[in-house]
Amino acid sequence: GENVEQHPSTLSVQEGDSAVIKCTYSDSASNYFPWYKQELGKRPQLIIDIRSNVGEKKDQRIAVTLNKTAKHFSLHITETQPEDSAVYFCAASVGGATNKLIFGTGTLLAVQP
Amino acid sequence: EAGVAQSPRYKIIEKRQSVAFWCNPISGHATLYWYQQILGQGPKLLIQFQNNGVVDDSQLPKDRFSAERLKGVDSTLKIQPAKLEDSAVYLCASSLERGLLNEQFFGPGTRLTVL
């Protein structure tokens, strides 16, 4: 069935460093790839998304890249800050344009001050 | 705008008991989702509604789980009878319309503990 793999499961960086989280997906029809941030005990919140007709998207310190051929997409956070500490989930749409999402297993990012 | 509302926020029950969760989506959002998030995992879609019709319930354990959205607005998710492995956070989400790959907005979730 459809699957999204996410790595690493935990990531610790020093404040100011960059963080990269990688995901791979299995459904070649996937065309929407959102990233959610979930702080402890809080709801997931969308931080950035990308559609399959775009290779890269940037929003201030956050960027996402997509390689459709390899079925890879990545989240890049630059100049990390302690408030970036959270669990990050990638997701991929499946089944065409139904908006059904398959989520990765999450990455716990810890930014050390 | 008001966000997705869910209640209760926490629920503790014993196995074989029944439980129900309620969700009120963002006003005007036609699509509503129920997810199960087990500790340490990503959300897993249980059921997706478009207005009051079911779009996808392929991962809903239908022998014990049921959901409805009778008037195309609020929704309830029920578990009867509950098992230990049902302990999880149940998240409700909504989006504007299926088919347009819109952002899904999540509610705060209901944390269920089955003893």
| pLDDT band (50, 70, 90) for residue B87 | very high
Mean pLDDT, rounded, for A48-69: 93
**A88 with A107: CB under 8 angstroms?**
yes
| pLDDT band (50, 70, 90) for residue A2 | confident
Is a pLDDT exceeding 60 seen at residue A99?
yes
Is a pLDDT exceeding 90 seen at residue B97?
no
A48 touches chain B (CB under 8 A): no
Identify the pLDDT of residue B70.
82
Is a pLDDT exceeding 70 seen at residue A98?
no
Mean pLDDT, rounded, for B62-83: 95
Mean pLDDT, rounded, for B60-82: 95
Contacts of B4 in chain A (CB under 8 A): 43
| pLDDT band (50, 70, 90) for residue B37 | very high
Identify the pLDDT of residue A41.
87
A74 touches chain B (CB under 8 A): no
Contact A44 B43 (CB under 8 A): yes
Measured in whole angstroms, how far is the alpha carbon of residue B74 from the centre of its chain?
11
Which residue has better confidence, B100 or B28? Answer: B28
Is a pLDDT exceeding 60 seen at residue B99?
no
Residue of B nearest to A99 (CA): B101
Identify the pLDDT of residue A21.
98
B31 touches chain A (CB under 8 A): yes
| pLDDT band (50, 70, 90) for residue B73 | very high
B103 touches chain A (CB under 8 A): yes
B1: buried, middle or exposed (CB in 10 Å: 19+, 13-18, 0-12)?
A: exposed
Contact B104 A42 (CB under 8 A): no
Contacts of A44 in chain B (CB under 8 A): 43, 91, 106
Q: How many CB pairs under 8 A join A and B?
A: 63
B25 touches chain A (CB under 8 A): no
Question: Exposed e or buried b for every residue in B84-108, given b needs 16+ CB within 10 A?
Answer: eebbbbbbbbbbeebeebbbbbbbb
Of A45, A98, A103, the CB nearest to B43: A103
Identify the pLDDT of residue B7.
97
Percent of chain B with pLDDT over 70: 96
CA distance B31 to chain A (A): 9
The chain-wide mean pLDDT, for chain B, equals 93
Determine which of A66, A101, A107 to mutate to test the interface with B (most B C-beta atoms within 10 Å).
A101
Contacts of A104 in chain B (CB under 8 A): 42
Mean pLDDT, rounded, for A38-48: 93
Identify the pLDDT of residue A52.
85
A99 touches chain B (CB under 8 A): yes
Q: Classify A62 as helix, strand or coil.
A: strand
Tell me how crowded residue A22 is: count the other CB atoms within 10 A of its CB: 17
Is a pLDDT exceeding 60 seen at residue A94?
yes
Mean pLDDT, rounded, for B10-25: 97
The chain-wide mean pLDDT, for chain A, equals 93
